[in-house]
Amino acid sequence: MSIKQFGMKHFSKLLYYKFHFLTICIFVIYSSLVNAQNDENEELLPFDAVIQSEMGGKRMKFYGNTRLNFNQAYFSNWISGGLSALTLLYGLDYNFNYSDRNGFVWDTNFLLSIGATYVSGSNFFRKADDRIEINSVVGKQMNEYWNYSGFLNFKTQLFPGFTLFDQQSNQEKVSQFFSPAIFQGGLGFYYKKSQNFWLNLSPITGRIIFVSKSFTGEIDSDEKYFGVNFNKGSKFFFGALISGYFKKEIMENITWENKFSIYVNYIEKIQNVDFDWNSNIRFKVNNKISGNFILHLLYDDDLIGKLQVRELVGLGVNIDL
C-alpha cells in the first residue's frame, strides 16, 4: 500500500469518527435542553409552528415544521461484515393559507429536503435527498368545499447529481440546479374539506421541462434527456393533473401524511400515466423529537421511464420557527 493510499484510508476513517462523535454530541445536548424545559414549557410548545391572524374578514395562517433527521450504522471488528454509514437529512415543509369573506382562497406550500450519506472508507459524500418544490393554488368559492381554481407548481434540485462509480474521479454528472426544472400550471376545481384533506382537479394543465443544453448537446440525436430532445433547452406538454393531500392520526402520537399527483399527457403517449406519491409516517416521541418512515414512489415516462423509489427511516429533531 502506498503512502497516499494509506493516508486516504486513515483520513476517511477519521472523518467518519468525527461525524459519528459530532452527531452524538448534538443529539445529547439538544435532548438535554428539551428535557430541561419540559416542566415549564411542555404544554405550551406546539408540535408544528403555527402563526394565525384574522383581520377584517380575512384569515391568514402560516404553519409547518423544520426537521433534522439522521440514521447511522456502525461496525467495528464485526466478523459477519458491514460498512459503517451516517445519513443526515434536513427538511423544511411550510404552508400559507389565506381566505376572505368574498370566497377567495389561496394556499401555498414550500418544501425543501436535502441530505447526504457518508459510508466508511469512502472519500466523498453521496446524495440522500435533494428537492425543492413550491405548490400554489388560488380559488374562488363555489360552495362550502368546492372552488374554481388555478394552480402553479415548480420542482427542481439544488446540487449536481452524479452516476456513482467506485472512484470519485470516474463519476459522471447527470443533473444540476434547474436541469431539470419542471413548471406546471392549470385551471380546474379545488376541493378542500380541511387542512388535512384537499384535492385539486385540473383537466387543463400546461407543463414545461427546462434543462441545460450542456446535457442535451452530448446525447445522440435520437435520444432524450429528461424528455427534452437533442440540443434543446426545454419541452412543452399539455395534459391533465390530479393532485392531493391527506393527513390522518392513526393512533396517539402517530400520524400518516400523504402527498400525491397524477398526470396524463394529451399530446403523446396518453396511455402512460405519471404519478408522484410521498408517504410519511411520523412517530412523535415528544414535542421536539420524532421518528419518521418515508416512502416516495415516482414514475415519469418523460424523465426516466422507470419506477423511482426512495425510502428513509430515521430519528428526527423538529425545530419550530
pLDDT above 90 covers a percentage of the chain that reads 54
| Domain-wise residue ranges, the chain | 3-319
Helices (H), the chain: 3-41, 213-216
Distance CA 293, CA 282 (A): 7
| DSSP β-bridge partners for residue 99 | 59, 105
Give me 51's grid cell.
Answer: 402563526
Q: Can you give the pLDDT at residue 50? A: 64
Residue pLDDT, tens place only, 63-73:
988 989 888 88
The label of the residue with cell 433534522 reads: 68
Q: Choose between 196 and 168: higher pLDDT.
A: 196
Query: From CA 223, how far away is CA 306, in angstroms rounded?
Result: 16
Predicted pLDDT at 272: 84
Q: Tell me the per-residue pLDDT of 37-79, one tens digit each, with 9 for 90 and over.
A: 444 333 333 445 566 777 777 899 999 889 898 888 888 888 8
Residue 137 grid cell: 393554488
pLDDT exceeds 70 at position 93: yes
**298-320 pLDDT per residue, tens:** 998 877 778 999 988 888 787 65
CA angle 143, 53, 100 (to 5 degrees): 25
pLDDT at 112: 97
β-bridge partners, 276: 261, 298
Question: Average pLDDT, stretch 139-160?
Answer: 96
Contact 137, 151 (CB under 8 A): yes
Look up cell 368546492; give the residue. 146
Separation CA 199–CA 240 (nearest Å): 14
pLDDT digits (tens, 9 = 90+) for 233-242: 999 999 999 9
Given a cut of 50, is residue 131 above it in pLDDT? yes
